[in-house]
Structure 1
Amino acid sequence: MIVRLVNTPEEKQQAFDVRTTVFVDEQKVPPEVELDEFDDEAIHLIGYDASEPIAASRIRFVDSYGKLERICVLKDQRGRSYGADMIKTMEEIITNEGYHQAKLNAQTPAINFYEKLGYKVISDEFIDAGIPHVTMTKQLN
């Protein structure tokens, strides 16, 4: 998979389409919750298999950390380390921007995935968009 920063309106729409497929269609998150006011200020990434968009995410900088958000891979592309590839690219961007801590809100079934990448749970479980989550952080070098 090739991960790229979104630079064009077409790429941004492709990222939104992947997010809509995963979060709205598959996980039943309301569209107005999934595509929100933070999309205008965020850094968006898109992952491609050849020319097909298969993954997406966004980064925002909040206080002293880079916040990883909306990380998703199309269902038929999961299990190929594409999510890990996306996170690695996001962490590189955060570090290049001068931040040393990453933070994310993980859906509870994904906790083990993020722990394998060095993230630690720092919150109790909470509900976001009707889905159980926890907050996780990682110190970046």
Structure 2
Amino acid sequence: MNIITYEYIDYKSEKFKEAIELRFNVLFKPYGKIDKYDYDEFDKISLHLAVLKDNEVIAYSRMTNLNGEGKITNVVVGYEYTKQGIGVEMLKMHIEEARKQGINNLSLNARIDTVGFYKKVGFNCIGDTFISEKSGLTLQVMNYNLKL
């Protein structure tokens, strides 16, 4: 049927296990810095957004409310589903949810090759780039001000 749906999922669900596999295979495995990536300290307290096609997780992202400051992490879209607006829609949903939660600022760490994508959604670069200890990639801190 090829229906794509966006839904928030529980970190204890089977769909979350699929999301973990997707985020490892796309965000970490290709760079060879880590062999496995399961749960981390933010999974229990974050809002997990999955994109499903025919009940299979094809994209995922999460937002964490850290004392009124929002952090978006693990934005991942399966390779065959990129450039279809899925990532933009996920970010828009996180922005809307952040507004509902009274969050005034969202931040994320973007790979250098994705900075342009985040700028299109309204994120701005903050400060200098840095090397991620987890992935070894060069990242750029980006910010979205919800007060504007």
- TM-score for both structures, normalised by structure 2: 0.86
1:97 to 101, 111, 114: 101
Per-residue CA distance 1:5-39 (angstroms, 9 max, x = gap) = 11351121122122122123334352556642222
Q: 1:3 to 1:14 in 2, by over 3 A?
A: same
User: What corresponds to 1:59 in structure 2?
Assistant: 63
User: How far apart, CA to CA, are the structure 2 residues paired with 1:34 and 1:123?
Assistant: 30
Q: What residue ranges of structure 2 are gaps of 5+ in the alignment?
A: none
Where do residues 1-141 of structure 1 align in structure 2 (5 Å cutoff)?
1-7=4-10, 9-31=13-35, 35-128=39-132, 129-140=135-146
State the 1:2 CA deviation. Answer: 1.8
User: How far apart, CA to CA, are the structure 2 residues paired with 1:31 and 1:58?
Assistant: 22
Q: 1:39 to 1:31 in 2, by over 3 A?
A: farther
The alignment partner of 2:42 has SS state of: helix
User: How far apart, CA to CA, are the structure 2 residues paired with 1:72 and 1:107?
Assistant: 12
State the 1:42 CA deviation. Answer: 1.6
User: How far apart, CA to CA, are the structure 1 residues paired with 2:28 and 2:142?
Assistant: 23
Of 29-38 and 103-112, the range deviating more from structure 2: 29-38
Q: Percent identity?
A: 26
Q: What residue ranges of structure 1 are gaps of 5+ in the alignment?
A: none
What letter corresponds to residue 44 of structure 1 in structure 2?
Answer: H
Higher alpha-carbon Rg: 2
Structure with bigger helix share is: 1
Of 62-71 and 81-90, the range deviating more from structure 2: 62-71
The alignment partner of 1:37 has SS state of: coil
Aligned residues: 141
